[in-house]
């Protein structure tokens, strides 16, 4: 057992699945050393490889969200959107997805039908086809209603095949296409019946259409990620890890619903760690950032787009926030959280 492995706890904890520090340790400590290959190593949202001269992106995600229906969506819509978005942020046009169900014995068929319809509706909107699938059933108590895995295949356009975190430079600006944390707030308010945040609906949506809207600017986009589990803080920290640059975020520029803010204040949560399912974080060439924001605002899924930060020289490898009152604080990767099964 090497030092990296020793650092890990002896059993899996919920926090191993939160997209934060423990997830990273699990991936880097146990999975990556064994699956070592050049496709997986960059830990992007999809693997990209060539088949017969065509650049293909390939991705997978299992969805274990609870509850399976939430304001703005359900596990079916989520399972298509999430996978389509993992392809989208690699610059790939999503084409084909798989759909594999693990269903708990006793699950109502009427509910299954609703979820399957939702998968199909979302696939149609996203212009992808569900081409292969699988269904497994586990005994009552050995699962929790339904888990869905979708894997996806897309084709990377030559116009945008350059995307890589290695292309990020000091001075680049960071853009997001709308309000942060909507998905987590919608799910939590449903789950806990908290009586606040109840008007927030999940942002869960397939985003390739939005990316097409700004096709004119593809050459100015250097890298993209979708800030799901672990939130903006999670993806930005992954990006700066081991890099010679840092990221500065402006709190006042981060789009946030009032209800989200109220919810976070009440529960002592930080919106930067909340999951999003209809957002992309773009790293773009500074001079084009304003135009890109304007272009995003022209699409229904980008109306609240905003420049939220910049790539800075100092401190390298860190993400920090310039708060509304002018102070600075480091935004570290999530360690513990209260949001298991948010996707």
For its own copies, the binding residues in 135-164 under the rule CB under 8 A are 135-139, 141-144, 147, 149, 151, 153, 155
Residue by residue, DSSP assigns 38-93 as TTTTT--SSEEEEETTEEEEEEEEEE--SSSEETTEEHHHHHHHHHHHHHHTTTEE
297 part of the interface to its own copies, by CB under 8 A = no
Phi, psi of 24, deg, nearest 5: -60, -40
From the CB of 35, what's the least distance to its own copies, in Å? 4
Q: Let me know: does 113 contact 153? Beta carbons within 8 Å.
A: no
78 part of the interface to its own copies, by CB under 8 A = no
Between residues 34 and 244, which has the closer beta carbon with respect to its own copies?
34
From the CB of 180, what's the least distance to its own copies, in Å? 22
Can you tell me which residue has the tokens 């945008």? 160
Residues of span 185-214 touching its own copies by CB under 8 A: none
Q: For its own copies, which residue of 2, 34, 242, 328 counts as binding (CB under 8 A)?
A: 34
Structure tokens at 337: 């959280």
Between residues 133 and 209, which has the closer beta carbon with respect to its own copies?
133
> In 3D, which of 93, 109, 339 has the Cα closest to residue 228?
339
List, edge to edge, every strand of the sheet that includes 319-322.
Answer: 221-225, 281-284, 173-176, 306-312, 246-250, 319-322, 328-330
> In 3D, which of 135, 129, 133, 134 has the Cα closest to residue 153?
129
List, edge to edge, every strand of the sheet that includes 92-104.
Answer: 47-51, 54-63, 146-156, 92-104, 129-138
Q: Give the span between the Cα atoms of 26 and 142, in whole angstroms.
A: 24
Between residues 52 and 268, which has the closer beta carbon with respect to its own copies?
52
Q: For its own copies, which residue of 14, 216, 267, 313 counts as binding (CB under 8 A)?
A: 14
16 part of the interface to its own copies, by CB under 8 A = yes
Residues of span 35-74 touching its own copies by CB under 8 A: 35, 37, 39-40, 46-47, 49, 51-54, 56, 58-64, 66
Between residues 175 and 187, which has the closer beta carbon with respect to its own copies?
187
Residues of span 83-102 touching its own copies by CB under 8 A: 95-96, 98-102
From the CB of 11, what's the least distance to its own copies, in Å? 5
Residues of span 101-140 touching its own copies by CB under 8 A: 101-110, 112-113, 116-117, 119-120, 123, 129-139
148 half-sphere exposure, CB direction, 13 A CA radius: 24
Between residues 139 and 193, which has the closer beta carbon with respect to its own copies?
139
């Amino acid at each position: 057992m090497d030092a990296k492995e020793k650092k890990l706890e002896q059993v899996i904890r919920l926090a191993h699945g939160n997209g934060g520090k423990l997830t990273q340790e699990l991936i880097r400590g146990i999975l990556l050393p064994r699956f070592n290959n050049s496709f997986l190593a960059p830990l992007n949202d999809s693997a990209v490889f060539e088949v017969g001269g065509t650049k293909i992106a390939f991705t997978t995600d299992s969805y274990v969200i609870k509850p399976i229906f939430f304001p703005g969506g359900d596990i079916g819509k989520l399972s298509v959107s999430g996978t389509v978005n993992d392809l989208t942020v690699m610059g790939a046009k999503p084409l084909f997805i798989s759909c594999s169900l693990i269903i708990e014995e006793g699950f109502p068929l009427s509910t299954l039908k609703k979820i399957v319809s939702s998968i199909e509706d979302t696939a149609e909107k996203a212009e992808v086809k569900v081409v292969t699938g699988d269904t497994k059933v586990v005994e009552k108590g050995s699962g929790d209603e339904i888990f869905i895995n979708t894997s996806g295949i897309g084709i990377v356009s030559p116009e945008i095949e350059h995307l890589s975190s290695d292309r990020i430079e000091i001075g680049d600006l960071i853009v997001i296409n709308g309000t942060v944390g909507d998905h987590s707030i919608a799910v939590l308010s449903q789950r806990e019946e908290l009586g606040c945040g109840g008007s927030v609906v999940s942002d869960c949506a397939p985003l390739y259409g939005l990316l097409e809207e700004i096709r004119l600017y593809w050459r100015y986009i250097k890298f993209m990620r979708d800030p799901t589990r672990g939130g903006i803080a999670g993806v930005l920290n992954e990006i700066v890890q081991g890099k010679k640059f840092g990221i500065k975020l402006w709190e006042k520029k981060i789009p946030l619903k009032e209800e989200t803010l109220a919810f976070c204040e009440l529960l002592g949560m930080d919106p930067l760690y909340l999951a999003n399912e209809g957002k992309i974080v773009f790293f773009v060439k500074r001079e084009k950032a304003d135009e890109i924001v304007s272009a995003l605002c022209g699409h229904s899924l980008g109306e609240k787009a905003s420049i939220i930060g910049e790539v800075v020289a100092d401190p390298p490898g860190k993400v920090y926030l310039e708060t509304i009152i002018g102070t600075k604080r480091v935004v570290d990767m999530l360690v513990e959280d209260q949001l298991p099964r948010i996707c």
